């Protein structure tokens, strides 16, 4: 029997449609479902096998049925199979309903009186799909005008601005709770003893060589007084740790070695040493820093 869609197209389309449906409905994370779940692969293999088996069975049934037909029936079947897609009866009826065209035998009844150098005009009706599309465009235009020109709904530019503004708010909120995304604008002062102890350990490992173990200053400045070269306070100290000190004679940037949370802890530890007055401390450098509006992290 003649089929509109050949088997080499039908089988892959059905198989991949089922496969895509399973990928959509099965939550497999960042990996395909047939890789993450072996049973999915087994099911797809069995399904493909059944598809091919069904096609083979249908082909066999068609062959047997054809041999059981009389010669006259075979001739009619062969004639129907040889008929092109556009010559089929159902296709002609469908196009007639969609376009409302008249047959060639009735064209003389549609002729208008116009005659342009032998070119005559027919008064055919507009295709149904075109008329409906035209009406739909009118309805769409009215709705569009009322929504955007009368009611003042947001256009694409305004929607983009609002989405960008909301994205900035979401990023700022995320930055407050994401330690590894912390910067000098969102960093807060830590006062918990466990955090300060961790900061002391980081300071002893990485900073004592230049500032001494008691932070009294050696190659680097004294960190226990109230004078700062690049500004005091948690934000400035964190900024200095991230970006380094003065060009040519300041300390290196630690952002490639320490994580933001670690730099927050060591900066908080350094600020906790203010007024500790270690013996033989280095002379003060910089300007007196007065902290205002200190933000303290609460646990």
Cα angle 272-275-280, degrees, rounded to a multiple of 5: 115
Contact 267, 209 (CB under 8 A): no
Give the per-residue pLDDT at 298: 47
Contact 277, 222 (CB under 8 A): no
Question: Hey, what are 67's tokens?
Answer: 């041999």
Q: In this predicted structure, which of 107-111, 190-194, 208-212, 274-278 has the lowest mean pLDDT?
A: 107-111
Residue from 292, 293, 243 nearest 267 by CA: 243
**Taking the complete model, does pTM exceed 0.75, yes or no?**
no
Residue from 203, 218, 215 nearest 258 by CA: 203
What percent of the chain is predicted at pLDDT more than 90?
24
Report the C-alpha gap between 273 and 283 in whole angstroms.
16
Residues 6+ apart with CB under 8 A from 7: 55, 59
Residue 1 confidence (pLDDT) above 70:
no
Residue 170 confidence (pLDDT) above 60:
yes
**pLDDT of 109-145, one tens digit each?**
666 677 777 777 766 777 778 888 999 999 999 999 9
Q: In this predicted structure, which of 3-7, 76-80, 268-272 has the lowest mean pLDDT?
A: 3-7
Instruction: Using pLDDT thresholds of 50, 70 and 90, give the confidence band for residue 100.
Output: low
Residue from 210, 215, 227 nearest 268 by CA: 215
Give the per-residue pLDDT at 202: 93
Mean pLDDT of the chain: 83
Give the per-residue pLDDT at 269: 92
More confident residue, 119 or 1: 119
193-288 placed in CATH 3.40.50.2300: no
Contact 188, 296 (CB under 8 A): yes
Give the per-residue pLDDT at 299: 45
What residue segments make up the domains of the chain, in order of their start? 7-82, 193-288
Residue 81 confidence (pLDDT) above 80:
no
Question: Hey, what are 64's tokens?
Answer: 């047997």
**pLDDT of 211-243, one tens digit each?**
989 988 888 888 988 889 888 889 999 998 888
């Amino acid at each position: 029997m003649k089929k509109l869609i050949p088997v080499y197209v039908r089988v892959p389309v059905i198989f991949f449609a089922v496969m895509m449906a399973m990928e959509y409905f099965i939550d497999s994370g960042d990996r395909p479902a047939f890789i993450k779940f072996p049973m999915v692969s087994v099911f797809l293999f069995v399904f493909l096998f059944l598809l091919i088996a069904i096609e083979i069975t249908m082909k066999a049934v068609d062959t047997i049925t054809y041999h059981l037909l009389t010669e006259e029936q075979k001739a009619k079947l062969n004639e129907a199979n040889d008929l092109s897609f556009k010559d089929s009866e159902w296709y002609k009826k469908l196009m007639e309903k969609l376009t409302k065209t008249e047959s060639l035998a009735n064209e003389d009844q549609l002729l208008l009186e116009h005659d342009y150098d032998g070119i005559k005009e027919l008064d055919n009706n507009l295709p149904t799909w075109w008329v409906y599309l035209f009406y739909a465009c009118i309805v769409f235009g009215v709705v569009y005008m009322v929504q955007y020109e009368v009611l003042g709904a947001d256009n694409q530019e305004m929607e983009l601005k609002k989405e960008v503004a909301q994205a900035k708010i979401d990023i700022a909120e995320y930055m407050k709770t994401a330690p590894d995304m912390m910067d000098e604008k969102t960093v807060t002062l830590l006062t918990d003893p466990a955090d300060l102890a961790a900061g002391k350990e980081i300071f002893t490992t990485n900073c004592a060589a230049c500032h001494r173990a008691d932070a009294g200053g050696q190659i680097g400045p004294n960190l226990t007084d109230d004078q700062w070269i690049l500004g005091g306070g948690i934000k400035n100290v964190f900024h200095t740790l991230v970006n380094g000190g003065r060009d040519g004679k300041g300390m290196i940037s630690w952002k490639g070695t320490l994580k933001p949370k670690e730099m927050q802890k060591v900066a908080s530890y350094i600020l906790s040493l203010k007024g500790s007055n270690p013996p033989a401390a280095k002379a003060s450098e910089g300007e007196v820093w007065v902290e205002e509006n200190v933000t303290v992290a609460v646990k």
